């Protein structure tokens, strides 16, 4: 279980790991109502109301949902119990109620559930004996509890004397630690246990082959032995074969195995006595994993050191370190939990992030992909619409609030700081729609007023200048629009009578006014046509419109046949797309265009060097070609050199370039025919840009995949993803 650090109530430590866990508390113990617990290949968390959710490996029922089915997203623990703390080990989990009753679930082959049997359980079972605990912790195959009076009890496997009873006899019910000492902290490691007295003296017992008992020897002990040097600790944490303690002033000391630098001393030499962790950091909490350790400062910054072969240090690499390194992403945590090869953090807003090994989906982000930096646990943001730009993404809530993430200039926050998680657009405006260009964004209010922000290199934000703006500014001219569409460097709007106006770059006639002169204010599109819809998308230099009868017209650059006229002659005024098809929707990439018929058939034209037309070839075409596969789509979205389609059942298929994983197939292999996006998620809407794609579920949860160099996937990191990953909560 976990409790506030004596140094800071923000420094809440997570319980139980496998092998390894962490505890930090004052004396007497204090119970908290929100925590994380990381096991060998699973993770659990409590909500502020005390409900437990788990995710990851479930081969022994350690998720507690009544099944043994693995889950890549959080599932509720069965039974409706309300817990005040959690502890998790390799394959079992325990929870403590506010009344001090302990329940455990999962693997029980060594009696670690404490119910008097060795029968595993996929739902919580009460620990036998009627004891009331104030704290719980779980080791590799044993569990220990601490009463409010400081008495320690353990149960499960005791082959190495990890119970501290003076014997090596295992027990499936709680047995008292010998010596009659009163502890304020109890922590369990792979095969050892440690306790902290109210005076701050540390005692350990169990296996000691690496010096993890800290008594200056490598001789195991089945009774408590005092840790050397007489240091006084306020917190302890135990890893697989090492132990760490925190002093009153936040100095960290570690002892035991140091093969990966998990002691943090700058070397890989093991020690049977406490050694100071390098770097001079002052920590409010510590958490030890299998062969690594993490610390949390009073300001909530996380540092980790030791084994990093699975990215469990969260530094964005897999290079191990014998000194503390900052966890990537700049997140501020209130709690940490460490498993064998993964770690999780809990922010003050109760948002959970995990990083490291994800082979059993223990990161809870809905994917099996290992992450070397914090990834948000699924279940966060609720959006009603998404829009994707080249280096940013924006989402719109049902209340009309806009949030953006990615490159600084595009976010509309008034600052020049990039963000890898969603941040609110400033100004308090309520939008009904958003449109994103290459380096800018525009929003449309319910009254039809258009506002834009971001880069303004050619007048694309429509303010009668080429001065960029980091906050929303009104588009000049006072026009009322019903639709907005943003391209690379130009924007178009549709008034309620269906008249199209465009502004920004016009080097190829993409404004449609019969000229190639750029304009920083809206100019009407020539030809007198009335449109119901517009498409600019990621189109560099062309625009398309759709009439109420479904006729498609395009204008601008046509060097690769993207206007669909059967030629490669550009046009500064609208020209009809050939083929006589009636479309219900249009979308465009950098140099290609796609249309969707009312029957759901998809057709594309223009550049096809990456297979973005979806016809099984890489031959460009200035006339319409049918997308292969016979799929029926309800929506299309074209990125730079790729295209995606959404079926009526919510399945997503993508085709074209996949250099950054934008097809979402789990690889970076391009494909010239539609291929399904990995993960089995069901979406209601899509948004694409040059190198990334995002989808919105019917419940409003957003996931993105592909390039992430500016944080445009919104997951708190800058690592690309070849499969959908959940956008972080704001």
pLDDT tens per residue across span 449-465: 999 999 999 999 999 99
**Lowest mean per-residue pLDDT among 110-124, 572-586, 696-710:** 696-710
Integer CA distances (angstroms), 181 to 132, 177, 418, in order: 18, 8, 53
Predicted confidence at residue 537, as pLDDT, reads 58
Is the Cβ–Cβ distance between 604 and 613 less than 8 Å?
A: yes
Predicted confidence at residue 29, as pLDDT, reads 26
pLDDT, mean of residues 282-296: 96
pLDDT grade for 665, boundaries at 50, 70 and 90: very high
Predicted confidence at residue 32, as pLDDT, reads 27
pLDDT of 13 > 50? The answer is no
What gap in Å lies between CA 423 and CA 116, rounded to an integer? 51
User: How many CB atoms are located within 10 Å of the residue 309 CB?
Assistant: 15
pLDDT of 430 > 70? The answer is yes
* Pairing label, strands 592-597, 602-606: antiparallel
Is the Cβ–Cβ distance between 345 and 353 less than 8 Å?
A: yes
Predicted confidence at residue 64, as pLDDT, reads 96
Integer CA distances (angstroms), 599 to 175, 552, 699, in order: 70, 16, 26
Q: Which two tokens stand for residue 495?
A: 């008034």
pLDDT, mean of residues 366-384: 73
Which bin fits 379, alpha (ψ -120 to 50), beta or left (φ > 0)? Answer: left
What gap in Å lies between CA 373 and CA 388, rounded to an integer? 23
What's the chain's average pLDDT?
89
Predicted confidence at residue 586, as pLDDT, reads 94
Q: Which residue has the higher pLDDT, 514 or 416?
A: 514
User: How many CB atoms are located within 10 Å of the residue 189 CB?
Assistant: 33
pLDDT, mean of residues 282-297: 96
pLDDT, mean of residues 707-724: 83
Predicted confidence at residue 350, as pLDDT, reads 67
Encode pLDDT of 320-353 as tens digits: 999 999 998 788 898 898 989 999 988 876 678 8
What gap in Å lies between CA 657 and CA 613, rounded to an integer? 11
What gap in Å lies between CA 207 and CA 162, rounded to an integer? 7
Question: CB under 8 Å to 255, separation ≥6 — which residues?
Answer: 211, 212, 214, 227, 242, 243, 244, 263, 271, 272, 273, 274, 275
pLDDT of 168 > 50? The answer is yes
């Amino acid at each position: 279980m976990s409790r506030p650090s004596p140094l800071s109530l923000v420094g809440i430590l997570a319980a139980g790991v496998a092998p390894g866990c962490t505890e930090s508390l004052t004396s007497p113990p204090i119970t908290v109502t929100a925590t994380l617990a990381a096991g060998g290949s699973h993770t659990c968390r409590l909500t502020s109301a005390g409900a437990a959710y788990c995710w990851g490996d479930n081969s022994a029922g350690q998720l507690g949902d009544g099944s043994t089915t693995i889950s890549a997203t959080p599932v509720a623990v069965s039974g409706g119990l309300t817990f005040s703390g959690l502890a998790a080990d390799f394959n079992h989990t325990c929870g403590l109620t506010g009344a001090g009753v302990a329940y455990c679930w999962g693997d029980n082959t060594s009696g670690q559930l404490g119910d008097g049997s060795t029968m595993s359980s996929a739902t919580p079972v009460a620990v036998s004996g009627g004891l009331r605990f104030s704290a719980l912790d779980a080791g590799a195959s044993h569990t220990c509890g601490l009463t409010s009076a400081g008495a320690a009890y353990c149960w499960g496997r005791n082959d190495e004397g990890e119970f501290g009873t003076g014997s090596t006899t295992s027990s499936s019910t709680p047995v008292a630690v010998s010596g009659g000492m009163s502890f304020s902290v109890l922590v369990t490691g792979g095969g050892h246990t440690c306790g902290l007295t109210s005076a701050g003296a540390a005692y350990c017992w169990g296996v000691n082959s690496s010096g993890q008992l800290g008594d200056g020897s490598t001789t195991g002990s089945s009774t408590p032995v005092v840790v050397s040097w007489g240091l006084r600790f306020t917190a302890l944490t135990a890893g697989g074969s090492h132990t760490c303690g925190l002093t009153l002033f936040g100095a960290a000391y570690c002892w035991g195995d140091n093969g990966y630098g998990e002691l943090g001393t700058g070397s890989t030499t093991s020690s049977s006595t406490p050694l100071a962790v390098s770097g001079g950091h002052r920590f409010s909490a510590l958490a030890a994993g299998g062969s690594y350790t993490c610390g949390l400062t009073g300001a909530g910054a996380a540092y980790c050191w030791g084994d990093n072969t699975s990215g469990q240090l969260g530094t964005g690499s897999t290079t191990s370190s014998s000194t503390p390194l900052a966890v990537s992403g700049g997140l501020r945590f209130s709690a940490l939990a460490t498993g064998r090869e993964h770690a999780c953090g809990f922010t003050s807003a109760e948002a959970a992030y995990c990083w490291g090994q994800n082979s059993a989906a223990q990161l809870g982000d809905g994917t099996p992909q290992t992450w070397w930096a914090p990834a948000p646990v699924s279940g966060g943001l609720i959006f009603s619409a998404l829009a994707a730009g080249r280096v940013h993404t924006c989402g719109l809530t049902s209340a009309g609030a806009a949030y953006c993430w990615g490159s600084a200039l595009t976010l509309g926050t008034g600052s020049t700081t990039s963000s890898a998680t969603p941040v609110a657009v400033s100004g308090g405006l309520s939008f009904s729609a958003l449109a994103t260009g290459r380096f800018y964004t525009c929003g449309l209010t319910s009254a039809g007023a258009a506002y834009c922000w971001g880069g303004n290199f050619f007048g694309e934000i429509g303010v009668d200048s080429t001065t960029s703006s980091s906050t929303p500014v009104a588009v000049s001219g006072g026009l009322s629009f019903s639709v907005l569409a943003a391209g690379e460097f130009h924007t178009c709007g549709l008034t309620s009578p269906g008249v199209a106006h465009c502004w920004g770059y016009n080097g190829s006639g993409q404004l449609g006014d019969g000229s190639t002169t750029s304009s920083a204010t809206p100019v009407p599109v020539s030809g007198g046509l009335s449109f119901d819809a517009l498409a600019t998308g990621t189109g560099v230099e062309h625009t398309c419109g759709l009439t109420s009868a479904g006729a498609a017209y395009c204008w601008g650059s046509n060097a690769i046949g993207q206007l669909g006229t059967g030629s490669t002659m550009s046009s500064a005024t609208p020209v009809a797309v050939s083929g006589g098809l009636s479309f219900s929707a249009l979308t465009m990439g950098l140099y290609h265009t796609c249309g969707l018929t009312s029957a759901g058939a998809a057709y594309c034209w223009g550049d096809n060097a990456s297979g973005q037309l979806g016809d099984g070839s890489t031959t460009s075409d200035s006339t319409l070609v049918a997308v292969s596969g016979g799929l029926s789509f309800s929506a299309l979205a074209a990125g730079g050199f790729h295209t995606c389609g959404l079926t009526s059942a919510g399945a997503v298929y993508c085709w074209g370039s996949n250099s950054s994983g934008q097809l979402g197939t789990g690889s970076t292999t391009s494909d010239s025919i539609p291929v399904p996006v990995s993960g089995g998620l069901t979406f209601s809407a899509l948004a694409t840009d040059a190198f990334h794609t995002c989808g919105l579920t019917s419940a409003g949860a957003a996931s993105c995949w592909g390039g992430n160099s500016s944080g445009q996937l919104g997951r708190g990191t800058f690592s690309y993803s070849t499969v959908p990953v959940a956008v972080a909560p704001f």
